[in-house]
Amino acid sequence: MITFTDRAREMVHTFLGEDVADPQALRISMGGSAAAPTFDLTLVDAAERREDEREVDGVGFSVFFSEEHASKLEGAVVDYVVRLTESGFEVRTATTESPDTQTGTRNRGAVPTGEIADRVRSVLDTQVNPTIAAHGGMISLVDVEDTDIYVEMSGGCQGCALSRATLRQGVERMLREAVPELTAVHDVTDHSSGENPYL
């Protein structure tokens, strides 16, 4: 059901330590939205398994996750990644769509609709994308959940070392000015697969 890469398994064992008298397990919690799920991995006491959780063997340690999320985690791969500005565990689910071979963006299906989606898309289309197009970049709206939005960078922005600063200091500020009710802007870009960043 859930597979751990060698590196991820090694890191889990490192975090678990050698104390077998106080066995621990790894809990995987899921949040975000259906189009852009997020995952949290937490070490917990092995006795803290909840009634609504399933337990599977992670090869040398137990893994807990909600029965509610079992179908989403079917075929998932847990990896430990090290990037330019961050490192940590990454969960890739079997339902994650692969990048479009021509654009490098993910084909997530339905286009977000509604007033917030329309206003955000207007800002991206008229203010943001014409500016970053000079660097070969583009930012797309992939999901809206209440007043949280999920965006994805592509082209020169995908994998660019300055993408986080661009999003937080420029794009997010413009979006919040135009759509003041926004509570969060989430970047769901797979920056590790960027092949043509503008540096």
Rounded distance, CA 101 to CA 180, Å?
35
Q: Using 50, 70 and 90 to split pLDDT, how confident is the model at 101? A: very low
Q: What is the dihedral of CA 168, 40, 31, 50, to 10 degrees?
A: -160
Give pLDDT, residue 109. Answer: 47
Domains 3-92 and 115-193 share a fold: no
In the chain, where the domains are located = 3-92, 115-193
Q: Which fold has domain 3-92?
A: Hypothetical Protein Aq_1857; Chain: A; (2.60.300)
Q: What percent of the chain has pLDDT over 70?
A: 70
Tens of pLDDT, residue by residue over 157-178, are 555 555 666 666 678 888 888 8
Rounded distance, CA 44 to CA 15, Å?
11
Q: Which residues contact 198 (CB under 8 A, 6 or more apart)?
A: 135, 136, 137, 156, 157, 160
Q: How far is CA 26 from CA 20, 37, 56, 65, in A?
A: 15, 18, 10, 9
Q: What is the dihedral of CA 6, 97, 150, 67, to 10 degrees?
A: -60
Number of H helices, E strands in the chain: 6, 10
Q: By mean pLDDT, which of 18-32, 61-75, 87-101, 105-119 is the weakest?
A: 87-101
Whether the model pTM is above 0.85: no
Sheet bearing 24-32, strands edge to edge: 37-45, 24-32, 62-66, 53-57
Rounded distance, CA 172 to CA 45, Å?
39
Mean pLDDT for 21-46 is 79
For domain 115-193, is the CATH number 3.20.20.120? no
Q: Using 50, 70 and 90 to split pLDDT, how confident is the model at 40? A: confident
